[in-house]
Amino acid sequence: MIGMTPYDLPKLSLLTDVDVQRFRRDGFLIVERVLSEDRIALLRDRFPKIFAGQFDTGVYPDEWHWREGMSLPDVTRHMSNAWKADLTIASLALSADIGRAVAQLSGWSGAKLGLDTIWWKPPQTKAIALHQDSSFSEFLNPALTMTCWLTLDDTSRDAGTIEYVPGSHLWPLTPQPDIFEGGDYRSKMRAAAAAAGIEPPEPVFIEVPAGSVVFHAGEIWHGSGPNTTGDRMRRSIGTHFVPIETQFTSRPGGYIYRRYERTDDPTLDESFFPVTWGEGRQPTPWIDSYCSTGRRSAL
């Protein structure tokens, strides 16, 4: 898939102050129909290929859960950092328009890509436990994250769409869940609400057309129920960002991030954590070249 370029997503440049206020109040913001039908089709086409190990760059993703003929059929298929393996996914994950929107909504001066996550929930697959993304980032300073979640299928509650607990980004941060799939997938969220003396509101189910995005704060409780349908896929891509000034700390954690920590240097190297947008500066120089050739070179 050589010859790609980072996606231009002009609808994301139209966010208003009202959108920012809504995001900061609720912890998430929906923007419908951001991606064209052609790009939706291109990204859908990559899912069976990457889960079959067909990687444009020859580089494996950092996580790869689910193998044909080896894994259980009722679990969600998942990858992390597929942008390092597949240039179509890289063209989405490295979009300056997504980075700009992340910075605008969060109030950051710039956004670095921390990692991406690929979610493929076929019919009759289990729930994903509600959790807070930033509970996985306590080894960073600041320990802040923000996600852009993009759906490649029309979503519905019965097909296991993502759900959010409005306002829960203002609750205390809690440790990550021990079990992610199946069972009472909201139990950890209810326990966190009880510990904070809060009666949790009903979750909001994101039922939107394919090609829509939801931005969510790293502290909001979110997850997804089972796909109880017999014939509908729920394919999505999450791109997870950190502030441009983020550094490693001495606190433990970061089993993916720390693979790229340099000796005696706390910075998140742009070779692995590219800046997709920054106030008063250009994105990481090699992004265009990488999307076109698969090589990280600014030359």
**Tens digit of each residue's pLDDT (9 = 90 or more) over 203-230:** 999 999 999 999 999 999 999 999 999 9
pLDDT tens string 126-152: 999 999 999 989 999 999 999 999 999
Task: Catalogue the E-assigned strands of the chain.
Answer: 28-31, 63-65, 77-80, 110-121, 128-131, 140-141, 146-151, 162-164, 204-205, 213-217, 222-224, 234-243, 247-248, 275-278
Predicted model pTM: 0.95
Residues 6+ apart with CB under 8 A from 21: none
Where are the alpha helices (H) located in the chain, listed in sequence order? 17-26, 37-51, 87-93, 96-106, 187-195, 287-293
Domain boundaries, the chain: 10-293
Nearest to 146 by CA among 115, 120, 181, 178: 115
- What pLDDT is attached to residue 257? 97
Q: Distance (Å, rounded) from C-alpha 116 to C-alpha 147?
A: 9
- Kindly state the tokens that stand for 192: 């966190």
Rounded CA separation 87/246 (Å): 26
* pLDDT at site 177: 67
Considering only CA atoms, which of 15, 225, 200 is closest in space to residue 106?
15
Under 8 Å between Cβ of 236 and 119: yes
Residues 49, 30: Cα–Cα separation, whole Å: 29
Which CATH number is 10-293 given? 2.60.120.620
Q: Could you report the per-residue pLDDT of 156-210, keeping only the tens digit for each?
A: 999 999 999 999 999 999 887 666 776 789 999 999 999 999 999 999 999 999 9
